[in-house]
Amino acid sequence: MAALIPNIAKGRVAHLATLPLANDGLVAVLLTAAQAEATLRDHATLAALLAASGNTEATFAGYSRKALTGVTVTVDNATDIVTVDCADPSWSPTAVQNILRIVFCYDPDTTGGTDADLIPIFIDDFAVTTPTSGTITYTVAETPAPAGFLRAT
């Protein structure tokens, strides 16, 4: 599977990534199992995605959800492209676990929201068998360059 933008987020990712609300943010969630791409893209919230048969969040030691930092939205009027980028999230595992995919979600209220409020905006393959020590990092890189997890034209 290639990186995908769920249907609920198409056309909205760049706006949501500007973090327009007072207490909003982006969060990374790791999945140890996931549905096929055609089905995975249809979930409108993280709660719906995790409730669906076949999707399992990584909830073991060292793999909590990560708030994404360094989020930027760059508008390039010369090339008519908007690029959304963030710092590469990383985890320090203390137990072995097979990771399959990573989901970036927009959280409109980081002070009290629930999974029913989180909107999946980006899903990508992230196949890794985690070690019991050290660090694993998801490299946020749009292909082709420039860097970012979304390029809208």
- Whether 98 is covered by a domain: the verdict is yes
More confident residue, 46 or 9: 46
Q: Give the residue from 87, 89, 83 showing the smallest Cα distance to 71.
A: 87
Q: Are 49 and 8 in contact (CB under 8 A)?
A: no
The parent domain of residue 111 ranges over 7-152
Residue-wise pLDDT for 27-85, tens only, equals 999 999 899 988 999 999 999 999 999 999 988 777 889 999 999 988 888 887 888 99
- Whether 143 is covered by a domain: the verdict is yes
Give residue 28's pLDDT: 96
Percent of the chain predicted with pLDDT > 70? 88
Q: How many residues does the chain have?
A: 153
| Buried/exposed code over 115-148 (b: 16+ C-beta within 10 A; e: otherwise) | bebbbbbbbeebebebeeeeebebebeeeeeebb
More confident residue, 96 or 143: 96
- Whether 122 is covered by a domain: the verdict is yes
- Whether 2 is covered by a domain: the verdict is no
The model carries a pTM of: 0.89
- Whether 24 is covered by a domain: the verdict is yes
Question: Looking at the 3D structure of the chain, how many domains does it have?
Answer: 1
Residue 102 φ/ψ, nearest 5 degrees: -125, 140
- Whether 112 is covered by a domain: the verdict is yes
- Whether 18 is covered by a domain: the verdict is yes
Give the 3-state secondary structure percentages of the chain, helix then strand then coil, rounded to 5: 10, 35, 55
Give residue 8's pLDDT: 63
- Whether 60 is covered by a domain: the verdict is yes
- How far apart CA 139 and CA 13 sit, in angstroms, is 19
